[in-house]
Amino acid sequence: MSVKLNTSPATFAPWGPLRGPARLCWLVVLLAGLALAACSTRHDPTETAATAAADVYTCSMHPQVHQDHPGDCPICGMTLVKKISASVPAASPSAAGGKVDSSTIVPAPNEQVLSRVRLVRPSRTAETAVITAPGTIAYDPRRFENVAARFGGRIERLYVRYQFQPVRAGQKLYDIYSPELVTEQQNLLFLLQTHDPDDQALLNASRQKLQLLGLSAAQVRAVEQRGRPQLSISVFSPVSGYVMETAPPAAAAAAVPAMSQPGNPAPVGAALEQAAPLAIREGQYVARGQGVFQVVNTDRVWARLQVYARDVDAVQPGQPVELTLNDQPEAPPIKATIALLEPVLAGDAATVTARVYLPNPGGQLKIGQLVTARITQAAAAGLWVPITAVVELGTQQVVFRRQSNSPRLLAVPVLTGPRRGTQVQVVRGLRAEDQIAENGQYLVDSESFIKPVADVQQ
């Protein structure tokens, strides 16, 4: 059986067998439905632009880098930030809720805006900070005694044999034979035999001359009692301490600056400690005025502390200090006071030497021993901000201050003063009621982008 389909246009038309006005009404309804569907699928151009802008990420150091997703810069490795379109309107402070939000703010050339920036106010007092300064135990040059030959002669016998041999005041150092001294003793003996008992002036003058040449009063009396000159004269130590050999002219010239320069904590005699045995020998001749030995007393020593130039303003003579021995950290700290600040910088080290005078009766402190000093700084009045809030621009310093009733941050120049720990004093450019970014370095893409402006409110 065969079936014949009706394929005439009238059969497949949507309106079927409609004719005349009915077909026209159906066509109008169909066109209206199509128009409504097209309107419902059309995107808002404003929403599309905002979505496109929000999906663009760039590098703050390399603005030529663009991505449509978060990530790292392929050039420097920094985290990409979302690029903000200039067509986005600024939000009101009330909408921001008192927080800095960069999603709706376009910064000016002298402004910076960043999401979730922590703001702080200047404080009236600085935190109590501790300055740590390394140092070294050194000789006190005022405790040096130079034993020089008062007359020329030959060393007959030495009673000291090595460097830093301890001696007591009045102990023999060496015996010396001097033809000059023998002649003066003979003159005294001749005057004793031929002088007028009523005229003692000439006799007393001869005795005084022998004492000025180095003989003691007991030695002069011994010569008079024996009636003959003493050929070898003993020289005694003037003080108690340690014997060091006097450096030769070249070494002495190098050792004295080592003591006086604040950048070199090496004590006097650091070069001499390497000289062994003693250069002076028995049978050696010495000239009048020539240095033979040095006797140094270590009952008092110096601690020479290296204070950085930035901390010099906070260190003053008379300020208390605590010293800890590096090789004895468990020992109780030594309490003392700053005695002197040397008025020169120590060359390339950019430090100033602070002297501390220390008693050392038992010799517990050794020359060259390393110490660490802790100097406590008192709180100072003024406006203090975190050091991280100040951005150094070479010849200028700026902070990012929040504008009144606005989340915008304005770069304003400031003048800073001394530092205390993690804080720095602002001498000019801020008020106590100002709010600034706690870490201004995070707001800087490049120093060349910052254009500080004068504060009209100051």
Q: Express each pLDDT in 37-65 by its tens digit.
A: 555 545 455 544 445 445 688 887 777 78
Structure confidence at residue 136 (pLDDT): 94
Give domain 103-126+380-449's CATH architecture.
Answer: Beta Barrel (2.40)
Where does residue 429 fall: left (phi above 0), alpha (psi -120 to 50 degrees), or beta otherwise? left
Model pLDDT for residues 373-398, shown as the tens digit of each residue:
998 876 666 788 888 889 888 788 89
Residues in contact with 319: Cβ distance below 8 Å, sequence separation at least 6, in sequence order: 337, 338, 375
| Residue 192 vs residue 98, higher pLDDT | 192
Give the global pTM.
0.53
Structure confidence at residue 441 (pLDDT): 73
Rounded Cα–Cα distance for residues 184 and 27 (Å): 151
State which fold the 148-244+278-290 domain adopts: OB fold (Dihydrolipoamide Acetyltransferase, E2P) (2.40.50)
Q: Answer yes or no: are the C-beta atoms of 423 and 387 closer than 8 Å.
A: yes
Q: May I ask the CATH class of domain 130-147+245-277+291-376?
A: mainly beta
Taking residues 410-416, report their average pLDDT. Answer: 88
Structure confidence at residue 268 (pLDDT): 43
User: Is 236 buried (19+), middle (13-18) or exposed (0-12) by CB count in 10 A?
Assistant: middle
CA-closest candidate to residue 272, choices 239, 231, 242: 242
Model pLDDT for residues 245-272, shown as the tens digit of each residue:
765 433 333 333 344 343 444 444 444 4
How many C-beta atoms surround the C-beta of residue 396 within 10 A?
A: 13
Model pLDDT for residues 213-242, shown as the tens digit of each residue:
888 888 888 888 888 888 888 888 888 888
Going by pLDDT thresholds of 50, 70 and 90, the confidence category of residue 127 is: low
φ, ψ at 242 (rounded to 5°):
-120, 140
Rounded Cα–Cα distance for residues 412 and 353 (Å): 37
Residues in contact with 215: Cβ distance below 8 Å, sequence separation at least 6, in sequence order: 181, 223, 233
Residue 245's H or E segment, with its range, is strand 241-245
